[in-house]
Structure 1
Amino acid sequence: MAKLTEPLTFNRGLTLKNRVLMAPMTTKMSFFDGVVTQDEVDYYSMRAGEIGAVITGAANVQEDGKGWEGELGVYDDKFIPGLSKLAAGIKRNGTKAILQIFHGGRMTSSQILRGVQPVSASAVAAERPAAETPREIESEEVAALINNFAAAAKRAISAGFDGVELHGANTYLIQQFFSPHSNRREDEWGGSLDKRYHFIEELVKAVTTAVDESGADNFIVGYRFSPEEYETPGIRFEDTLYLVDHLADLSLDYLHVSLNQADKVSASQDYQEKSMMAYIKDKIAGRVPLIGVGDIRTGQDAEEILSMADGVAIGKALLMDPNWLPKVVNGQEKLIRHELSRFDCEELRISNGVWAFLEQMMPERLY
């Protein structure tokens, strides 16, 4: 088993100085039009320097992909100057900067899109309060969408990032193409499991080809996924093992599982003997690094994840204590901040958007 402080090298040559990454989290810090703010640069920069990499919150690759106010944009060259400041702010003391790119799909609203109807794989509303029925994306629009992801990766290269992460998790558009709940299509992009995977395969190939043909050195491409859905029909863990098995054979640098609990067990009765992360690690079988995640608070928590994964993504703990890693490494864990008050927000560069995220995710640790 690797140690937290050991380097991690990816297929395209990029090396992280240690195995700790900042997990991608919503900040709602960008301007109304998706341009980076100085507050956003300061927030990420404060948490860089000690850890191996920072993965940003999601940046939308199309205007109709915006999921919430204050979200990063990467759908036009006008964003490159701001993104360059963000990448430079993250890349302190050797920390690597990874831009997460996505399309919100049906997980947005016409209000957020200024009157434009959301799109998805099919015209099926999400199972959440006040969800709007999206417009089914036309077949010819799918090719444009894939090209826009590839163009976003090129902009990330131009801005000085070290990689991109395809956000195929948390029920956004990439996942919507794979899910039998949101994808009821009968063309080449939907129907059987193979056809629902087809969009993801073409997307990954387009982005990795664009990166490789760009001539960028040591620029990596990762993919994040959620292992189960609870809608019926929905993604089951067996579907995810199929997905992981196929993704591991593509030209990706890492896979990143999205979990709120590292040892979470599948809802499927066929996969009860160990955690989903452990099953996923076995399915990958060393073909590509796996980044694990799941409410990590202590060094021991992180080490336990490294028994099932190659890297550790830490979210809320780094929000509350940007110096989490040096305190763990130097035997000062008793000094780690585990609770947060409103009075700490200015010091920690925590905006109202981040505070709202914390209120939703861990209200018991706020005061």
Structure 2
Amino acid sequence: MSHGKTREDKTCLNCGHQVEERYCPHCGQENVESRHPFYFLFTHFVEDFTHYDGQFWGTLKNLLLSPGKLTNIYLEGKRQKFVPPVKLYIFVSFVTFFMFALFPMVNIGSDNADKKNSKISFLDKMKSPETQKIFDSIKAQKNLTREDSIAMKNLSLLPDTATVENIQETLDMNKAIDNDFSFSGYKTRKSYDSAVAKNPSFWGFMLNPIAHKFYELKEKGVTKKELMKNMVEKSYHNLPKALFLYLPLFAFFLWIFHSKKKWWYFDHGIFTLHYFSFLLLIILFIFLLSKLTGLISFNVLNALLYLIICILAIYSIAYFYIAHYRVYHTHGIVSLMIGGILFFINFFAFMFLLTGLAIVSFLMLH
């Protein structure tokens, strides 16, 4: 409910009709003063979602605790009781990604002061004489077991000249992408282009831009830390767009598996908006709880938080099956089968989308 002051003039500023009470009977606009203090912008934004006679909180409650209820009510034509699906998704998306920006998901690198105050690192332990002797004794063996070979290879310890310092150097995030790094075995763009010209690949249209970007970053001396940081930032900025683009695809998969006469694509779109709004909220809750675990040193409380995170993750999966069953009114087993098929289809489709997002993010680096 708005707290704006009612105008003395009873002529509607929007359509010119006479306003007997607070709202215009012709267009519905509230007849309040049009000029407000600056803080009104923020209070009005909050009021839009929290002061519609409990509309927002009722929507939030039903969205989280009553799978499918909001979709059913909306498709029945009762569209004033709760926040509209599109408006709800935009608001939840805004809050979720605002919190991600406020509390970064990935903190790449750490200050020297933090390193000094932290416990002994894994690499410091590996540089101990005792550990180095173990590695040397393993390398000296003529016949290594399969497990030892894989472990030594992954740690880059197979060459005779390798030392523990090599591992630290390899993992050093401040190290630039130098000549030790290659793309498909080619260390320079010239050698790569020459090989591609002789033996063109079907995937060249996708691999060539990635390779050229790799060599471009290599020539600029970009460090691994800068590369990782920029990749995370670019992916984060592209993620809302990717999710928004995936909405119609998710609805399309629903449309394929249900009766075209009974269910319109619009109906699936409403279900999708409500489900994705729920998923964003669950992701936000899990994100905040995981951040909280890093701030609490009390083991029992941490264990409780991890338990809640696991419950939320399981609930997010079960939510879809419950909502699908309540909205589409299919038989329990049929709903479970369709839900399972849709889950796997959407999983692979979304993984494909995330891969594309990562490629686009990489190509946007500079």
Identify the structure with the greater strand proportion.
1
Q: Which TM-score applies when normalising by structure 1?
A: 0.23
Q: Which TM-score applies when normalising by structure 2?
A: 0.23
Q: Which has the higher contact order (CA 8 A, sep 6+)?
A: 2
Look at both structures and tell me which one has the larger radius of gyration over its CA atoms: 2
Identify the structure with the greater helix proportion.
2
